Structure 1
Amino acid sequence: MDDEVEVSAMAINVSVPERLQWNDTRRGEEFLLTTLNVRMLPDGTLAAKAYGRPTAGGRGAYTSFRLPDSLELAALVEAAATEAAAKWSAHRGLA
Protein backbone atom coordinates (compact mmCIF):
# COMPACT_ATOMS: atom_id res chain seq x y z
CA MET A 1 0.00 0.00 0.00
CA ASP A 2 2.83 2.46 0.81
CA ASP A 3 4.05 2.58 -2.79
CA GLU A 4 0.53 3.67 -3.86
CA VAL A 5 0.52 6.70 -1.56
CA GLU A 6 1.82 9.99 -2.90
CA VAL A 7 1.88 12.87 -0.44
CA SER A 8 1.93 16.07 -2.45
CA ALA A 9 2.06 18.56 0.42
CA MET A 10 2.48 18.76 4.15
CA ALA A 11 1.59 22.02 5.84
CA ILE A 12 0.88 23.27 9.33
CA ASN A 13 -0.51 26.51 10.72
CA VAL A 14 1.34 28.05 13.63
CA SER A 15 0.18 30.86 15.90
CA VAL A 16 2.83 33.53 16.34
CA PRO A 17 3.31 34.43 20.02
CA GLU A 18 2.34 38.05 20.69
CA ARG A 19 5.92 39.10 21.41
CA LEU A 20 6.98 37.92 17.91
CA GLN A 21 4.06 39.37 15.92
CA TRP A 22 4.87 42.21 13.53
CA ASN A 23 3.20 44.64 11.14
CA ASP A 24 3.70 44.79 7.38
CA THR A 25 2.01 46.68 4.56
CA ARG A 26 0.56 45.40 1.31
CA ARG A 27 -1.22 47.55 -1.28
CA GLY A 28 -1.37 50.47 1.14
CA GLU A 29 -3.02 48.44 3.91
CA GLU A 30 -1.23 47.58 7.16
CA PHE A 31 -1.56 44.04 8.57
CA LEU A 32 -0.69 42.54 11.95
CA LEU A 33 0.90 39.16 11.20
CA THR A 34 -0.23 36.52 13.69
CA THR A 35 -0.14 33.17 11.87
CA LEU A 36 2.45 31.21 9.92
CA ASN A 37 1.78 28.59 7.29
CA VAL A 38 4.76 26.24 7.21
CA ARG A 39 5.22 23.77 4.37
CA MET A 40 7.74 20.99 4.03
CA LEU A 41 9.17 21.00 0.53
CA PRO A 42 9.99 17.78 -1.38
CA ASP A 43 13.68 18.12 -0.45
CA GLY A 44 12.82 18.22 3.27
CA THR A 45 13.46 21.94 3.77
CA LEU A 46 10.83 24.26 5.19
CA ALA A 47 9.11 27.26 3.66
CA ALA A 48 6.93 29.67 5.61
CA LYS A 49 4.60 32.55 4.89
CA ALA A 50 2.85 34.84 7.35
CA TYR A 51 -0.81 35.86 7.46
CA GLY A 52 -2.81 38.24 9.59
CA ARG A 53 -5.55 40.83 9.78
CA PRO A 54 -5.66 44.46 8.73
CA THR A 55 -4.80 46.74 11.65
CA ALA A 56 -7.69 49.02 10.64
CA GLY A 57 -10.11 46.16 11.30
CA GLY A 58 -12.18 43.91 9.10
CA ARG A 59 -11.31 40.61 7.56
CA GLY A 60 -9.12 41.79 4.72
CA ALA A 61 -7.86 39.62 1.91
CA TYR A 62 -6.00 36.34 2.40
CA THR A 63 -2.61 37.90 1.68
CA SER A 64 0.71 36.25 2.38
CA PHE A 65 3.83 38.01 3.64
CA ARG A 66 7.47 36.99 3.76
CA LEU A 67 8.93 36.27 7.16
CA PRO A 68 11.43 38.87 8.28
CA ASP A 69 15.00 37.71 8.81
CA SER A 70 14.61 36.80 12.48
CA LEU A 71 16.36 34.08 14.47
CA GLU A 72 13.37 33.91 16.82
CA LEU A 73 10.89 33.31 13.98
CA ALA A 74 13.20 30.74 12.39
CA ALA A 75 13.36 28.93 15.75
CA LEU A 76 9.55 29.05 16.00
CA VAL A 77 9.21 27.50 12.53
CA GLU A 78 11.68 24.73 13.33
CA ALA A 79 10.10 23.98 16.73
CA ALA A 80 6.63 23.88 15.16
CA ALA A 81 7.80 21.48 12.44
CA THR A 82 9.39 19.20 15.03
CA GLU A 83 6.21 19.24 17.15
CA ALA A 84 4.03 18.56 14.09
CA ALA A 85 6.26 15.62 13.10
CA ALA A 86 5.83 14.11 16.56
CA LYS A 87 2.06 14.55 16.43
CA TRP A 88 1.81 13.07 12.91
CA SER A 89 3.90 10.05 13.87
CA ALA A 90 1.62 9.39 16.85
CA HIS A 91 -1.67 9.63 14.89
CA ARG A 92 -4.38 7.17 15.85
CA GLY A 93 -6.16 6.89 12.51
CA LEU A 94 -9.45 8.34 11.38
CA ALA A 95 -11.99 9.16 14.05
Structure 2
Amino acid sequence: MSSDPEVSALAINVTIPQALRWTDTRRGEAFELTTLNIRLLPDGHLAVKAYGRPVAGGRGAYVSFPVPDRPELATLIAEAGGRAGELWAGHRGLG
Protein backbone atom coordinates (compact mmCIF):
# COMPACT_ATOMS: atom_id res chain seq x y z
CA MET A 1 0.00 0.00 0.00
CA SER A 2 1.30 3.44 -0.94
CA SER A 3 1.54 6.17 1.66
CA ASP A 4 1.18 8.88 -0.99
CA PRO A 5 -1.86 11.09 -0.41
CA GLU A 6 -4.62 10.64 -2.96
CA VAL A 7 -4.95 13.94 -4.82
CA SER A 8 -8.34 14.09 -6.52
CA ALA A 9 -7.95 17.34 -8.42
CA LEU A 10 -5.35 19.81 -9.57
CA ALA A 11 -6.83 22.91 -11.14
CA ILE A 12 -5.74 26.48 -11.74
CA ASN A 13 -7.50 29.61 -12.91
CA VAL A 14 -5.67 31.82 -15.39
CA THR A 15 -6.65 35.29 -16.55
CA ILE A 16 -6.77 35.47 -20.33
CA PRO A 17 -4.69 38.46 -21.50
CA GLN A 18 -6.81 41.14 -23.18
CA ALA A 19 -5.25 40.50 -26.61
CA LEU A 20 -6.25 36.80 -26.50
CA ARG A 21 -9.84 37.19 -25.29
CA TRP A 22 -12.77 36.29 -27.51
CA THR A 23 -16.56 36.31 -27.39
CA ASP A 24 -18.96 33.41 -27.70
CA THR A 25 -22.72 33.13 -27.53
CA ARG A 26 -24.94 30.99 -25.33
CA ARG A 27 -28.74 31.09 -25.45
CA GLY A 28 -28.62 34.28 -27.52
CA GLU A 29 -26.36 36.14 -25.08
CA ALA A 30 -22.79 37.16 -25.96
CA PHE A 31 -20.05 36.48 -23.39
CA GLU A 32 -16.50 37.82 -23.27
CA LEU A 33 -14.22 34.99 -22.15
CA THR A 34 -11.75 36.23 -19.53
CA THR A 35 -10.65 33.22 -17.48
CA LEU A 36 -9.36 29.72 -18.17
CA ASN A 37 -9.87 26.86 -15.74
CA ILE A 38 -7.12 24.35 -16.44
CA ARG A 39 -7.20 20.87 -14.86
CA LEU A 40 -4.47 18.28 -14.73
CA LEU A 41 -6.02 14.93 -15.59
CA PRO A 42 -4.87 11.65 -14.01
CA ASP A 43 -3.10 10.67 -17.25
CA GLY A 44 -1.00 13.87 -17.20
CA HIS A 45 -2.88 15.70 -19.95
CA LEU A 46 -4.56 19.07 -19.45
CA ALA A 47 -8.25 19.87 -19.83
CA VAL A 48 -9.45 23.44 -20.14
CA LYS A 49 -12.68 25.45 -20.17
CA ALA A 50 -13.16 29.18 -20.59
CA TYR A 51 -15.42 31.37 -18.46
CA GLY A 52 -16.60 34.93 -18.77
CA ARG A 53 -19.32 37.47 -18.25
CA PRO A 54 -22.09 38.79 -20.50
CA VAL A 55 -20.90 41.51 -22.89
CA ALA A 56 -24.07 43.50 -22.16
CA GLY A 57 -23.09 43.68 -18.48
CA GLY A 58 -24.83 42.48 -15.40
CA ARG A 59 -24.08 39.39 -13.43
CA GLY A 60 -25.44 36.85 -15.85
CA ALA A 61 -24.66 33.18 -15.55
CA TYR A 62 -21.16 31.88 -14.96
CA VAL A 63 -21.10 29.58 -17.98
CA SER A 64 -18.26 27.45 -19.35
CA PHE A 65 -17.24 27.51 -23.01
CA PRO A 66 -14.85 25.40 -25.07
CA VAL A 67 -11.49 26.96 -25.85
CA PRO A 68 -10.82 27.57 -29.56
CA ASP A 69 -7.97 25.69 -31.19
CA ARG A 70 -5.59 28.65 -31.50
CA PRO A 71 -1.81 28.30 -31.12
CA GLU A 72 -1.50 31.34 -28.87
CA LEU A 73 -4.10 29.92 -26.47
CA ALA A 74 -2.39 26.51 -26.49
CA THR A 75 0.87 28.28 -25.57
CA LEU A 76 -0.83 30.19 -22.74
CA ILE A 77 -2.32 26.95 -21.38
CA ALA A 78 0.99 25.06 -21.53
CA GLU A 79 2.94 27.92 -19.95
CA ALA A 80 0.35 28.36 -17.20
CA GLY A 81 0.49 24.64 -16.40
CA GLY A 82 4.28 24.77 -16.17
CA ARG A 83 4.21 27.89 -14.02
CA ALA A 84 1.65 26.34 -11.66
CA GLY A 85 3.94 23.31 -11.28
CA GLU A 86 6.84 25.58 -10.33
CA LEU A 87 4.71 27.41 -7.77
CA TRP A 88 3.40 24.16 -6.24
CA ALA A 89 6.92 22.68 -6.10
CA GLY A 90 8.13 25.73 -4.20
CA HIS A 91 5.32 25.89 -1.65
CA ARG A 92 6.32 26.72 1.93
CA GLY A 93 3.61 24.84 3.76
CA LEU A 94 0.77 26.33 5.74
CA GLY A 95 1.28 29.94 6.75
Structure 2: unaligned runs, 5 residues or longer:
none
| RMSD, aligned CA | 1.0
- How many Å apart are 1:14 and its aligned residue? 0.3
Q: What code does the residue aligned with 1:58 have?
A: G
In structure 1, runs of 5+ residues without a counterpart are: none
Q: Hey, what does 1:94 align to over in structure 2? A: 94
1 CA distance for matches of 2:92 and 2:39?
A: 22
Identity %: 62
How far apart in 2 are the matches of 1:60 and 1:3? 44
In the TM superposition, residue 20 of structure 1 has moved relative to its aligned partner by 0.2
Deviations 1:8-65 (A, max 9, x none): 0000000000000000000111000010000000000000000001000011111000
- Return the alpha-carbon distance in structure 2 between the equivalents of residues 15 and 3 of structure 1: 35
| Equivalent residue, structure 2, for 1:10 | 10
How far off its partner does 1:4 sit? Answer: 4.9
Matched, 1:44 2:44: yes
Q: Distance in 2 between matches of 1:25 and 1:3?
A: 47
Q: Secondary structure at the match of 1:3?
A: coil
For residue 3 of structure 2, give the secondary structure of its aligned residue in structure 1. Answer: helix
List aligned pairs for 1:61-80, cutoff 5 A.
61-80=61-80
Matched pairs, number: 94
- Structure 2: how far apart are the matches of 1:82 and 1:59? 32
